[in-house]
Structure 1
Amino acid sequence: MAEAGRAGGGESERSDAPVPVIMHVDMDAFYASVELRQRPELRGRPVIVGGSHRGVVLSATYEARALGVRSGMSSGQARRLAPGAVFLPPDFDSYGEVSRAIVAVFAGVSAAVESASIDEAFLDLTGSLRMYGPPAAIGERLRATVADEQAITCSVGIGPSKFVAKVASRAAKPDGLVEVLPEDVVAFLHPMPVQAMWGVGVPTARRLYGLGIETVGELAHAPASTLRRAFGPHAGRGLQELAWGRDRRRVVATQPERSISSQETLGRDTDEPETVRRELLRMADRTSRRMRKAGLVGRTVAVSLRFADFTEVTRSVTLATPTDVTEEVYGAAVALYERMGLTRARIRRVGVRVEGLGPVRRAYRQPQLTDPEHGWQEADQAVDAAVRKFGPTAVRRAALTRPR
């Protein structure tokens, strides 16, 4: 993978409100990359996804882009630029499947995931840092997971706003990561050409060039009256605000969460039931903690296993009452695993998902005569409080402290 880049350095300034930490993840040549998974013999060659005789280019490998091919270009023009390119018809079902799997990975580290399109998403990491570590470490982990599970690459930009994160992910392409700290936004943006700005296309760039404005820095310092006359009061002011890196748009989850899941690829394939049960506990603990943090409970527990040959199996069970208790989610998950009756099957990835979510305040739990006065629910709440105060490693289950 490409080495992570960092625009500037130093500590961000402290304030009463936390500075937002926004990540933008953009798949590299998404459609083409998905196609190459099935046709590895085409790697290194110019490959174009789209109509070979009519229509437009949907995606192109970087080898084709080096010849001038771009998305949205007519296929006839692409053929003239790259006469030796391989044209492939699009398979939108496959692209959608991969996109959903990638979004599930993102949801493992942030409750606020906004799918901007099938191949890119914004994540608000502001509330995730204490549990998952520094932003760049989260980004590299996501990149590694996507590469391992989907055999495609992505580029990651991190910044204090959606705009800066988007521009940073463009600067990271292909297959890289760029983090821009709040105090380095101006130094990062101002040397760039105006067309590097998110939202500035060819027509807008041409109008700016006509005003003698070629860089983001020149746009930032341009007279406001000039921009108002050229673009109108709202658009002119908006362009100048973005040139200073000011963007108040928030990451908005694409849709309400209908499930919460956690999955992880093991360090090496295993056929040891004890190892699988331990990883099921780890994923059940992570999923349940995220549910409690979101104030949600769920009734359906699902277990997904990916085997060494990349085939997958999923099983689920609906509980009598909704829960957010780690021990109850784990109990259901391990029972599902044991009912599969797997014999020496080598497992590559383990996942636990809870569906049928609803607000905990509206959930009714039927008490049992055998329930202790204080049980696992209170234990989970105590652990959550310790983690919030002292960090994610403050309290851990003994079974999860063993070497993985």
Structure 2
Amino acid sequence: MPCLCRDCFREVPEARGTCAACGSRRLVRHPELFTLTVAHVDCDAFYASIEKRDRPELLALPVIVGGGRRGVVSAACYIARTRGVRSAMPMFKALALCPDAVVIKPDMAKYAAAARQIRGLMERLTPLVQPLSIDEAVLDLRGTAALHRAPPAAVLARFARAVEMQVGVTVSIGLAANRLMGKLAAERDKPRGFAVIGGAEAADWLAPQPVTLLPGVGPALARKLESAGFTRLGQLATLNPLEAARRFGEDGPGLAARARGEDKRPVNPERETKSISAETTFDRDLAAVAELEAPLWRMCEKLARRLREKELAAAGVVLKLKTAGFALRTRNARLPSPTRLPETLFAAARPLLLREADGTAFRLIGIGAQPLAPAAGADRGDLADPEAPKRAARWQAVEALRARFGEAAVMQGRGLKPRA
């Protein structure tokens, strides 16, 4: 059976338990090891790992990256995870589980810089790199063996070592025949893992797994599947497309196919951005419209900036509110024409807010742009709104002043935080 040493990158004879060249026990074996080309790369506890890299005194301590007590966990190191802390968990729950954790406020600029380093190392391996998030990507290395003079598995092992040496964090790699199985493989062996799921074994490996293992099967869909008698992926896998559609609608055939380990999605470096958003969690619950409008305006400014950076515009807005009891409300509205101006975004989102501000206490507010549109068609003005180009010019001037003199150089009154 093909076997690779993850430390010296040499092929190891099947019978050995250690590498003859370097003595390492970090060996990976699989019948399809040297023929699979699709890899899912996931950084291990990325934000927390960056913080530990920069502050070595934290290496043996539980670290949580996130907001204040009313915020949520952005990332938790593996020590904190052993206590039950998870990403997106409310901070107060995380601190109840791990009261001795070191809590660090996120430094997105630092994390983005590290992500760019890792992305650069990926792009040396293959042009087929599709980012999925700041710390996650999928790669297709087909046709690269001659270039690298090594099969994809060995190239990926070298890449993992390069990330550790040059960036100072670790990654876990899932090697498989398609994107779905690559993601599931990467989750099998974290942290610092290298797991392989071949095409020949995918269906059998999935069959005994719970339906919740599949990406996209959340609590609501899991309950629907369970009520229909489907709790294991092997049960879903037996459904033909017609039966799957009859039971679960238009998404049924795709669901059954994924339960068999089938996934025809290509690795697409030009993946289209579907939405852009900005949100904030309050220091205390807010209920009054006047209190909610100020943070909504600040999020509209932030969203406008992100649209400009992505060279996109909003053709619609989505308002997001989370109640004090963590119930989520989303409301959306289409825009008459695309925009990336905060005042236009605010004007569209404010009526949505007024309908929801019924005395309910909220802990979070957010604004998103969806659907997106090309920036070229934004804020051009027409007979109904001839002043749009002037507003666009004013906003551009404001952003230029802020870039030069700081965020507080120009501020609108509606965005000011009330004094304590």
Question: Shorter-chain TM-score: what band?
Answer: 0.5 to 0.7
State the distance in 1 between where 2:82 and 2:68 align. 19
- 8 Å CA contact 1:99, 1:118 repeated in 2: yes
> Using a 3 Å threshold, how does the CA distance of structure 1 residues 117 and 11 change in structure 2: closer, same or farther?
closer
1:143 maps to which of 160, 167, 172? 160
Match of 2:237 in 1: 220
TM-score, normalised by the number of residues in structure 1: 0.57
1:235 maps to which of 251, 263, 270? 251
Match of 1:159 in 2: 176
State the distance in 2 between where 1:111 and 1:254 align. 11
Does residue 215 of structure 2 align to residue 192 of structure 1? no
State the distance in 1 between where 2:85 and 2:248 align. 31
Alignment of structure 1 residues 190-339 onto 2, 5 Å: 190-222=207-239, 227-232=244-249, 234-254=250-270
- 8 Å CA contact 2:174, 2:196 repeated in 1: yes
State the distance in 1 between where 2:211 and 2:159 align. 30
Match of 2:67 in 1: 51
SS at match of 1:182: coil
- 8 Å CA contact 1:113, 1:254 repeated in 2: no
Structure 2: which 5+ residue stretches go unaligned? 1-5, 7-24, 273-420
- 8 Å CA contact 1:5, 1:176 repeated in 2: no
- 8 Å CA contact 2:50, 2:111 repeated in 1: yes
Match of 2:31 in 1: 9
Match of 1:337 in 2: none
1:225 CA displacement: 6.0
1:222 CA displacement: 4.3
Match of 1:169 in 2: 186
| Higher normalized contact order (CA 8 Å, seq sep 6+, divided by chain length) | 1
* One-letter amino acid matched to 2:31: G
- 8 Å CA contact 2:64, 2:104 repeated in 1: yes
1:221 CA displacement: 1.8
1:90 maps to which of 106, 125, 131? 106
Match of 2:53 in 1: 37
TM-score, normalised by the number of residues in structure 2: 0.55
SS at match of 1:136: helix
Structure 1: which 5+ residue stretches go unaligned? 13-18, 257-404
Q: Please tell me the root mean square deviation across aligned C-alpha atoms, in Å.
A: 2.4
State the distance in 2 between where 1:26 and 1:193 align. 22
Query: Number of matched residues?
Result: 248
1:80 CA displacement: 1.2
1:138 CA displacement: 1.6
* One-letter amino acid matched to 1:9: P
State the distance in 1 between where 2:36 and 2:75 align. 32
Does residue 199 of structure 2 align to residue 182 of structure 1? yes
Could you give the per-residue CA deviations for residues 218-259 of structure 1, whole angstroms, max 9, x where no partner exists? 221246566435531x21111111111111111111489xxx
Of 62-71 and 103-112, more deviation after overlay is shown by: 62-71
